[in-house]
Amino acid sequence: MPMPTINAAIAAQGTQTTFVSSSEQQTVSNVPQDYLGASPIIYGTSAFAQLYNPIEAHWPAEACARAIDLGINTFDTSPYYGNSEEVLGNALKAIQATHPRSTYYLSTKIGRYGPKKADFDYSKERVRKSVETSMQRMGTDYLDVVFAHDVEFVSVESAVEAVGELFRLKAEGKIKHVGISGYPLPYLLALIPILHSRHGQKLDILLTYCHYNLHNTLLQDYVAQFKDMGIQTVWNASPLSMGLLRSFTPAPAWHPAPPLLHSAVEDCIQIIKKNSPSKDLAEVAVKFAMKWEGCEGLVLGMSNAVEVEQNIRWWNETRQSAQRTPQNEEETPEERDERLVKTRLEGFTKLEWASPPMDDC
């Protein structure tokens, strides 16, 4: 099959203003195959592995169908996310009569298979086996996007080897777009030209996380540099900063944020509670990330169809609010909440924590 280019997607797709509302349903259509026409919301499926909260068995199929119906056409997963690939594959199989493979993109990763550095394997043999296993789990004979997962945990030579095998799999038609994912932006910026030089071709896509949210907007300082290197598509993941920016669910005990940031987030939770008692800080955080048009995709984890509809509603609300003329209107409660939270967190906007963690090096 011909290999599409992401450059074409940028020219053809443009900026999506709104999704179909949850009370409507668009006609399910095939996604472009000659370029990556991914929706601006990417469905993050780690929740299917119950890493954050329990789920009901019927949720994944319902959520995937609802997502496609409302315009979300891309699913992102990884073998590192427990049994997420299997659950996603079973969900898509259950809805294939109405939502065939041609109506969505699949994105997964290779290289990381557990929480420690010892769980990484970037060898070309494991890369190929991992891609084949992912395709089997998800019931497909090709993958639209494959990332080398968390490249900062391995040596440069290991990254070169893994990406080289991904490029070979792309040439064979098993992968359409090759990318890397990771956290530390300076490291990614340094690694990309090495990979390009060693392989004589450019990566298609980059995924990073926790770098455009209420407490960290560092990604906006790097996007232009990534684009200058030939990375045409950048996805921003984890607008909740790995569960930190939520009112009603405590941050995970392993969260790497420093104590001062944890304390500031607690203050933000109280700010929201005082001014908008029924609101979750998560809503403020997700809508803040949705408003930024500096990247091509926002990866959002969703457990069920209700959360799919909620995120569609929030997206559409951010687009509607952007059409306001602030000069002629008073500050809305939503704008006030965001301003107060951002003010409390302004000292952390350029903060990066260690990745890999110092105790894992």
Question: Based on the number of CB atoms within 10 Å of its own CB, is 2 exposed (0-12), middle (13-18) or buried (19 or more)?
Answer: exposed
CA–CA separation, 178 and 205 (whole Å): 6
DSSP 327: G
DSSP 360: G
Residue tagged active-site, from 81, 104, 183, 212: 81
Listed in sequence order, the residues at least 6 apart from 163 whose beta carbon sits closer than 8 Å to its beta carbon are: 148, 178, 180, 195, 199, 203
Name the percent of the chain in helix, strand, coil, to the closest 5. 45, 15, 40
249 strand-pairing partners: none
- φ/ψ of 39, rounded to 5, equals -65, 155
346 strand-pairing partners: none
**Whether residue 81 lies in the annotated active site:** yes
Listed in sequence order, the residues at least 6 apart from 111 whose beta carbon sits closer than 8 Å to its beta carbon are: 120, 121, 122, 126, 127, 130, 148, 149, 150, 151, 154, 162
- φ/ψ of 76, rounded to 5, equals -115, 135
CA–CA separation, 33 and 277 (whole Å): 46
Residues marked active site are found at: 81
